[in-house]
Amino acid sequence: MASRAVITARQERLGAELRKLRERAGLTLRHAARALGISESKLSSTEAGRVGVSAERVRHLANQYACDDAALVDALVAMATERGRGWWEDYRGRVPSGYLDLAELENHATHLSNFECVHIPGLLQTEEQVRAIFGASVPKLSKEELEVRVEFRLRRQEALEGMRYLALIHEAGLRIRVADRKVAREQLLQILERSELPQVTVLVVPFDVDGFAGVVDPMVYARGSVPQLDTVLVDSQHGGAFLGAEAQLGRYREVLRKVETAALGAVESRELIQRLVQEL
């Protein structure tokens, strides 16, 4: 099978999970390849996501590695046999590849938790908010680049229809104006509107909460079809990183717990946002 020209974060994750199964079985790449009757290079390429893998091969690998977790194996088979072309692929080459990986992550998540300290979560942004954010990009985007990024982010919001979503927003993010009062007011009203959806919860961390130190980096925690396939996206000025190691997942689950503990309840959060609307 020919190597892929482009490897997505999800394809890399499938390969990484197969590598974990091998390592838990105590097999080196050489010994596993020999037992499977394939070359080391082919197994290495499979674990790196550079080549596809069939459902039959996934089950064969799991059997050789003595993995008896049927739910995990079924989830890996499902990842391996995904044949649908996601809508985000229409934007390949038009937006950064990390945007596509995020859209794919959201599409496959069963539950998404998103913490933002100084921004409104992308899945809740209005068009004018999105336009103002990308309009301030450095270096400056061309008109065509700006339009396609606005379109892409708004289309991502369709993911809200198919999953549970928890937005954790610091009060600073609600107060920062990326444009003018009108845009800020419409943004807050849209957050209130989205928070009324049965699958969406919005919690606000107020300025006056005590002991909220060391939690500033934006993050997305996406639950997979099984816990082992949970994924964390940590964002920064230098790009995002997709994390899936158990130690990393455990750390960010603790971060989310800390943020949720500091946040107001859903009703109190809505009341705070309504007060901010009145101030505008």
What digits encode the pLDDT tens for the residues 72-105? Answer: 999 999 999 987 689 999 999 999 999 999 999 9
Percent of the chain with pLDDT over 90: 86
Place of tokens 């130190």: 213
**Does 9-80 carry CATH code 2.40.50.180?**
no
How confident is the model at residue 277, as a pLDDT?
97
C-alpha distances in Å from residue 65, one per residue of 113, 148, 227: 33, 45, 20
Task: Please state the rounded mean pLDDT for residues 29-45.
Answer: 91
The answer to whether domain 9-80 and domain 87-279 are alike in fold is no
Which residue in 126, 237, 235 sits closest to 184, CA to CA? 126
The architecture CATH gives domain 87-279: 2-Layer Sandwich (3.30)
Determine the pLDDT at residue 238.
61
Per-residue model confidence as pLDDT tens digits over 235-270: 766 667 999 999 999 999 999 999 999 999 999 999
Nearest to 234 by CA among 40, 91, 143, 98: 98
Question: In whole angstroms, what is the distance from residue 138 CA to residue 132 CA?
Answer: 13
The continuous run of DSSP H or E covering 111 comes out as strand 111-116
Q: Which residues of 52-74 are buried (b: 16+ CB within 10 A; e: fewer)?
A: bbeeebbbebbeebebeeeebbb
pLDDT at 157 > cutoff 80: yes
Domain residue ranges in the chain: 9-80, 87-279
CB atoms within 10 A of CB 195: 17
pLDDT at 235: 79
